[in-house]
């Protein structure tokens, strides 16, 4: 898993492809989830790796969840989500491929 932090979506997509990851985790502290995350998904698709799942976490308003899911986000986790739940669900996604 690669985490989207302060790097540009294209840079993260390139790192994800080069490292052959299954997931990219995005946590937006600067409210960039509605711009950066969809751009990341587009870049992954442009690199031919739309199969890499993008998981988003952090303080994201619930009213933005549908927007992100419609643009290809695999899972969204809010504050306080137990890590074991995230890992279990990521493994289930991986096993369904």
Kindly report the pTM of this predicted structure. 0.87
Indicate the pLDDT class of residue 5, thresholds 50, 70 and 90. low
Which stretch of DSSP H or E encloses residue 66? helix 65-70
Query: What's the pLDDT tens digit per position in 67-93?
Result: 999 999 999 998 899 999 999 999 999
- Please determine, for residue 45, whether its predicted confidence score (pLDDT) is greater than 90: yes
Q: Which domain holds residue 22?
A: 2-95
Indicate the pLDDT class of residue 96, thresholds 50, 70 and 90. confident
Residue 58, pLDDT score: 86
Number of domains into which the chain is organized: 1
What is the domain-level CATH number for residue 53? 3.40.50.280
Question: How many helices (H) and strands (E) would you count in the chain?
Answer: 4, 4
């Amino acid at each position: 898993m690669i985490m989207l932090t302060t790097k540009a979506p294209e840079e993260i997509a390139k790192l994800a492809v080069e490292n052959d990851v299954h997931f990219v985790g995005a946590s937006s502290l600067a409210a960039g989830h509605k711009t950066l995350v969809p751009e990341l998904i587009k870049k992954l698709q442009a690199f031919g790796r739309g199969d890499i799942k993008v998981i988003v976490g952090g303080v994201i308003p619930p009213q933005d969840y549908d927007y992100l899911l419609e643009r290809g986000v695999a899972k969204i986790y809010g504050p306080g989500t137990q890590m074991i739940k995230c890992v279990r669900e990521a493994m289930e996604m991986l096993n369904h491929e």
